[in-house]
Amino acid sequence: MTFEVWAPRARRVRLALDGAVHPMTSVAGGWWAPAADPGPVPDGTRYGYLLDDDEQALPDPRSRRQPDGVHGLSATFDAAAHTWGDRGWTGRQLAGATIYEMHVGTFTPEATLDAAADRLDHLVGLGVGFVELMPVNAFNGVHNWGYDGVLWSAVHEPYGGPAAYQRFVDSCHQAGIGVIQDVVHNHLGPSGNYLPRFGPYLKDGRNTWGDLVNLDGEGSAEVRRYIIDSALMWLRDHHVDGLRLDAVHALSDDSDVHLLEELAVEVAALSAHQNRPLTLIAESDLNDTRLVTPREGGGYGLDAQWSDDFHHAVHVALTGETDGYYADFEPLGALAKVLDRGFFHDGTFSSFRDRDHGRSVDTEHVPAWRLVVCAQNHDQVGNRARGDRTAEHLDEGRLLCAALLTLCSPFTPMLFQGEEWAASTPFAFFTSHPEPELARATAEGRLAEFERMGWDPDEVPDPQDPATFARSRLDWDEAGDGRHARVLAGYRRLAALRRELPEITDPRFGTARADEASRQLTLERGALAVHVNLGEDAWEVGSGEVLFSTARPGDPAFVAAEVVVPPGSGVLVRR
């Protein structure tokens, strides 16, 4: 390490290294460097920076490891020390793949990256192409979703730190699974954010979650470099295959070249150098495919983006919930439109936003796999009052209808941990803020968020209660029993069909239609047709080979002279 640090706001900077203090010299552009070479530094050595007349050293803004938490000293980390076993790994493209979203802290009882690696056989059997980790960068406390993190390049120590992270990625690659890391660049957490002491990392204004990051003001060139270098670090030093970019609509950037486009350019260069695909996926509330339009077509050049409209349409169709942002999705035709056109709100009026929203998708030229869809994810489960899953409210047939629609849609499907066996455990919002005032503000903020959804505030668990976190851990023992095992068999069968049938992963959009009166929906994709019957009467859909039925989820294909879809069920048919 050179121990250089960008601190244009400081009058004096000293390096605290392994119990000794070393003077630093101001160099060009607000950077500081040690006045003399501190000599060889063993891996794991504690260090930090003393600004001005401070007596307490602050962690390195570019820290790779925080063994004593976000308020403690940083530790050196040799990213090249790991002996990689994935030398034959050439990457995986997103097109045709299935993503599995995972929270390290609740995926296993041990809540570590090493324990998660021990469960990869389960994901291989499920046909998973990528595992997507919710944020793992350093945050204050032990348990958290990770979206209020700070020190964007450090791996949360209770998960195992950066060495365990490298072991996890290595294990995934050896199992044939790529890794997508969820990263947050639109705000910083409220505890442990010392960046403003160093430089103008923030600017005036706020988004939903905190102060705006300075992407276009004075000093923003170094802030943008800070973000891009962190992103490249995950891909280069930790061999990650892609990044999920959190809430990009909350990035405030009026620069000539938007941060997302600049990031796409540099990631593409790294991909060419490493000769493997590197994927950028945006979470966006904009319903605007300019994000994934290639730069030569006037877009930002990202690879894919989430489509929340798919989730909302599937959820409403199967559960009947129409509160809050679900209201516009009440007609079954909303689901047909999403399957047919990618977005429901594509310039239409959104009653939740009280304005027109979105842009239409050019389905002739935009491949459908650029939209990532799901029936469940951390937001849509965890932001319910109790963190209750749809498995608590739906029978097996309807749960498998959700799987059928998700895994056989033209889009890139994403599963949420435990969904595949109808997990009975909730996924609630949980925190472990050591600061009482922050804990209280977080709990009060959750209650305010739920007002528009009409949920009972008395049902909202205290996010600071350790039991809220404990209840959210998956129970792996239930996966092999009764209803859970039957749902899992259905997911595995659908995963096998995705590998066997090229029509399912065809990048072109299908044709969908819905009958509102009978509550029946059909999605056609070449010779394949998905029929879902949400009405009260049996439905005859013609003859063909039934490849999957929610009534017989684990059975191999069978032929029927006349295919009948019972109420509350679905089938995949090849004509």
- Composition of the chain by helix, strand, coil, percent to 5: 30, 20, 50
Contacts 24+ apart (CB under 8 A), 536-541: 536/567, 537/567, 538/564, 538/565, 538/566, 538/567, 539/564, 539/565, 540/564, 540/565, 541/565, 541/571, 541/573
Tokens of 256: 């000539």
Is-catalytic flag, 246?
A: yes
- DSSP readout, 407-450? HTSSSEEEEETTGGGT--S--------SSHHHHHHHHHHHHHHT
- Do residues 78 and 43 lie in contact, with contact meaning Cβ atoms separated by under 8 Å? yes
- Do residues 365 and 296 lie in contact, with contact meaning Cβ atoms separated by under 8 Å? no
- Do residues 520 and 535 lie in contact, with contact meaning Cβ atoms separated by under 8 Å? yes
Nearest to 113 by CA among 126, 91, 131: 131
Tokens of 255: 């620069």
Among residues 283, 309, 321, 419, which one is catalytic? 283
- DSSP readout, 443-484? HHHHHHHTGGGT--GGGPPPTTSHHHHHHTS--GGGGGSHHH
Tokens of 511: 């044709």
Among residues 246, 253, 262, 321, which one is catalytic? 246
SS3 570: strand
| Burial class of residue 318 in the structure, from the number of CB atoms within 10 Å of its CB (0-12 exposed, 13-18 middle, 19+ buried) | buried
Is-catalytic flag, 395?
A: no
Give catalytic residue positions: 246, 283
